[in-house]
A = this chain, B = another copy of it.
């Protein structure tokens, strides 16, 4: 696993990192039970304060994406969604609309967007059954 942090970005470091881990998990690059680098390791590698890494791991744990085992390390969790169907649908609609808004402003056509989405979607790990 390689993570890239851009300290000159306005996006907070911890958010860049959570996003990258979230995406790797969604793509299946990081699979369940994979051990992530330890807080200290990663903090050295990325030249970032250990607290910041710890924060990332804590936050992803609360989201159910990671799984920390005291004394052992941090691992990718098995996927599960505990949210109500209703809430999940609402969030998805919101995401879709925000995404479409930006796509329109970038000047793309509907077809271009849908086509690209279809292509990229193949690179992700989708649920086959509803939870």
Contacts from A to B (Cβ < 8 Å)? 7-10, 12, 19, 22-23, 25-27, 33, 61-63, 65, 67-72, 75, 77-84, 87-88, 91-93, 95-110, 112-114, 116-118, 120-122, 124-128, 130-131
Contact of A106 among B19, B81, B98, B122 (CB under 8 A): B81
A60 to chain B, nearest CB (A): 10
Contact call A117/B117, Cβ cutoff below 8 A: yes
Q: With a 10 A CB-CB cut-off, give which of A19, A65, A108 has the most chain B CB atoms.
A: A108
A21 to chain B, nearest CB (A): 10
Q: Which residues of B contact A122 (CB under 8 A)?
A: 110
- The complex is assembled from copies of this chain, and their number is 4
Contact call B101/A128, Cβ cutoff below 8 A: no
A/B interface sample: 18 pairs, CB < 8 A: A8-B33, A12-B70, A19-B101, A26-B105, A81-B106, A81-B107, A82-B84, A83-B106, A88-B108, A92-B103, A92-B108, A96-B116, A104-B125, A109-B127, A109-B128, A110-B124, A113-B117, A117-B117
Q: A84-B82, A101-B124 are in contact. Are A92 and B69 (CB under 8 A)?
A: no
Q: Which residues of B contact A83 (CB under 8 A)?
A: 82-84, 106-107
Contact of A23 among B63, B97, B107, B130 (CB under 8 A): B97
